[in-house]
Amino acid sequence: AQSVTQLDSQVPVFEEAPVELRCNYSSSVSVYLFWYVQYPNQGLQLLLKYLSGSTLVKSINGFEAEFNKSQTSFHLRKPSVHISDTAEYFCAVSVKNTDKLIFGTGTRLQVFP
């Protein structure tokens, strides 16, 4: 079975500071990896995904994540955060050729001015 661990339930950070949200997964088979973001009172939105190829993937709003197979990690980073990045961030995995997304418990990123 697959599982996703997000070790940090909350990450407070000041505006323009760098941030890293950690995600580790467990799976005996190959998986796809995802980061979703949930802004207050909204549904989840796909932020970025790793399916294959380059292990570093980037989003249009400055976030990036790196797939590390040996450490079974897919940490999310941003070099300089904005107030508008305040949200809940969910890491997720799905086994290749299946349709089921397994989510982590989420990390609340709180950006302060």
Partner 1 sequence: DTAVSQTPKYLVTQMGNDKSIKCEQNLGHDTMYWYKQDSKKFLKIMFSYNNKELIINETVPNRFSPKSPDKAHLNLHINSLELGDSAVYFCASRPHDRAGEQYFGPGTRLTVT
Binding site for partner 1 (CB under 8 A): 32, 34, 38, 41-46, 49, 51, 88, 90, 92, 94, 96, 99-101, 103, 105-106
- Is the Cβ of residue 17 or residue 46 nearer to partner 1 in the bound state? 46
Q: How far is the CB of 80 from partner 1 (least distance, A)?
A: 26
To partner 1, the closest distance from the beta carbon of 78 in angstroms equals 21
CB of 59 to partner 1, least distance (A): 13
Q: How far is 105 from 5, CA to CA, in rounded Å? A: 7
CB of 46 to partner 1, least distance (A): 6
For the record, the structure tokens of 89 come out as 């961030």
Q: Which is nearer to partner 1, 50 or 81 (CB)?
A: 50
Pick 15 or 49: Cβ nearer partner 1: 49
Considering the complex, state which of residue 67 and residue 90 has its C-beta at the smaller distance from partner 1: 90
SS3 of the chain: CCEEECCCCEEEEECCCCEEECCEEECCCCEEEEEEEECCCCCEEEEEEECCCCCEEECCCCCEEEEECCCCEEEEEECCCCHHHCEEEEEEEEECCCCCCEECCCEEEEEEC
